[in-house]
Amino acid sequence: MLWGALGAFTLQSAVFFRLTFWDLSWDVMEPITFFVTSSSLLAGFFFFVLTHRDPSYRDLMDTLVRNKQQKLMQKKQFNEERLKELQMQCCIPSYASQKTFSKDH
């Protein structure tokens, strides 16, 4: 997914460069680039409003991985509560508690 985003941003920059310096002029492209940039800022704010997390790549990837993991667990009928019980019995810390611990220290 990150490679796709890198490719999309590279392609967007190349298209803007081509349109600005060969096909059109800066007078035409300035408002277009402004609105594209504003749209990306709005998308980041929209992500923050929905998830209450920073619109950073790490938080975005964490959200995407967690959503994919939950969909797979539902599809495969995985019992997450049973996993937590077994982890407690074996004294294995869960991923969430490791993440919390690392942020605090």
Mean pLDDT of the chain: 83
Q: Is the pLDDT of residue 88 over 90?
A: no
pTM value? Answer: 0.54
Q: CB-based contacts of 63: which residues, under 8 Å, 6+ apart?
A: 47, 51, 53
Q: Token digits for 100?
A: 């919390």
Residue 96's pLDDT is 55
Write out 49-99 in H/E/C secondary structure.
HHHCCCCCHHHHHHHHHHHHHHHHHHHCCCCHHHHHHHHHHHCCCCHHHHH
Residue 51's pLDDT is 81
Name the pLDDT band for 7 (thresholds 50, 70, 90): very high
